[in-house]
Each structure stands twice: as structure tokens, then as C-alpha cells.
């Protein structure tokens, strides 16, 4: 079976930064479960089905990746899947503060599950799904920040047929 990690997130939408984190995570783990959080309190741009499809297509070149969904506590999901590692990315000091608090709470809830942090690649340090959606909404060029499929879906969502791809 090998070592398995869960890489959780909302992935609304998946970015090249996410994909970079997953690829680098595969150097540490034999398998990664990319787990999309079902958060009914959050107003997502993409439906759960759309996010799942975009991730599955973006990750199809990897045979050791599984895309799944979960709700509730991440540590409960990890225990249910018999996984003992949660993979998370850190971009900035503000990420560290939030992730540190989450890791400590997760550790308090289940001491068997460890949090593993990777620094975001320098190329992606400023990217987030929120920033990419904001730029796309106003026609910014985000074509090299997301997979091609996501780029096309963002153009559809914001009705931006050509401007998003111009420099």
C-alpha cells in the first residue's frame, strides 16, 4: 500500500500552484488523495462536480492520485481512509499562522495524524484560487496560472472570450 497523504482544499478552482504541490508531494508519498472539502457555508464559483472533474482531468497523468470529497472534520476523514499524513502548502507568514493553528487542533483531535508542510514553489508564491478568480473576473491574463481546462472554464464563467488570454 505504501505511504499515503491527504491534500485537502476547496480547489475553487485548482491552480498550477496546487498541481506543483501535488507533484512535489508525490516525491514524499506513494499516493495522494486530493480531498475536496464540501463546505455548504462557502459560496463557490464552481460546483463540487465541476471541481472534481477539473481535478481529475488535470491529474489524469498520475496513476497514484485519487480525487475524493469529504465534509466534516479532516482528521475524521483521514482516520476513515486510514491515512496518517495531511499535506499542506505554505506561501507566506499568514499561511503559517493559520496552518499552525489547524495542525495543532488536528493533533489535539487525533494524535495519529501528522501535518506535513511544503513551501510553495517561488513561481506560485502569490497565487491562490481567490486571487486567480478575481483577476479572471476582470479579464486579467491568468492563462499560465491554471491548467488549460480551468482557464477555459473561467472564461465561460466570466464571459471573457478573448481578453483573459492577452498580455
Domain for residue 142, yes or no? Answer: no
Domain for residue 100, yes or no? Answer: yes
Is residue 42 among the annotated active site residues? Answer: yes
Of 167, 162, 133, nearest in space to 15 by CA: 133
Of 108, 132, 105, nearest in space to 45 by CA: 132
**Average confidence (pLDDT) over 21-45:** 94
Q: How many domains, in total, are found in the chain?
A: 1
How far apart, in whole angstroms, are the C-alpha atoms of residue 35 and residue 7? 6
Domain for residue 157, yes or no? Answer: no
Q: pLDDT tens digit string along 64-88?
A: 999 999 999 999 999 999 999 999 9
How far apart, in whole angstroms, are the C-alpha atoms of residue 104 and residue 57? 33
Q: How many CB atoms lie within 10 A of CB 44?
A: 18
Instruction: Give pTM, 2 decimals.
Output: 0.91
Is residue 31 among the annotated active site residues? Answer: no
Kindly name the residue from 129, 133, 153, 155 that is annotated as catalytic: 129
Domain range spanning residue 61?
Answer: 4-122
Kindly name the residue from 24, 81, 84, 91 that is annotated as catalytic: 91
Could you tell me where the DSSP H helices lie in 81-167?
93-109, 129-137, 148-158
Kindly name the residue from 42, 61, 108, 111 that is annotated as catalytic: 42
Domain for residue 161, yes or no? Answer: no
Q: Can you give the pLDDT at residue 124?
A: 86
User: Residue 164: pLDDT above 60?
Assistant: no
Amino acid at each position: 500500500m505504501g505511504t499515503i497523504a491527504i491534500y485537502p482544499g476547496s480547489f475553487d478552482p485548482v491552480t498550477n500552484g496546487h498541481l506543483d504541490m501535488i507533484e512535489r508531494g508525490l516525491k514524499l508519498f506513494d499516493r495522494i488523495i486530493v480531498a475536496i472539502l464540501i463546505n455548504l457555508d462557502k459560496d463557490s464559483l464552481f460546483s463540487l462536480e465541476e471541481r472534481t472533474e477539473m481535478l481529475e482531468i488535470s491529474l489524469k497523468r498520475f496513476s497514484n492520485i485519487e480525487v475524493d470529497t469529504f465534509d466534516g472534520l479532516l482528521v475524521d476523514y483521514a482516520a476513515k481512509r486510514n491515512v496518517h499524513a495531511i499535506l499542506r502548502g505554505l506561501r507566506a507568514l499568514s499561511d503559517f499562522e493559520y496552518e499552525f493553528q489547524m495542525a495543532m487542533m488536528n493533533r489535539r483531535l487525533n494524535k495519529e495524524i501528522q501535518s506535513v508542510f511544503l513551501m510553495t514553489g517561488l513561481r506560485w508564491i502569490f497565487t491562490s484560487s481567490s486571487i486567480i478568480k478575481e483577476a479572471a473576473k476582470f479579464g486579467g491574463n491568468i492563462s499560465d496560472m491554471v491548467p488549460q481546462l480551468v482557464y477555459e472554464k473561467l472564461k465561460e464563467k466570466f464571459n471573457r472570450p478573448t481578453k483573459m488570454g492577452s498580455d
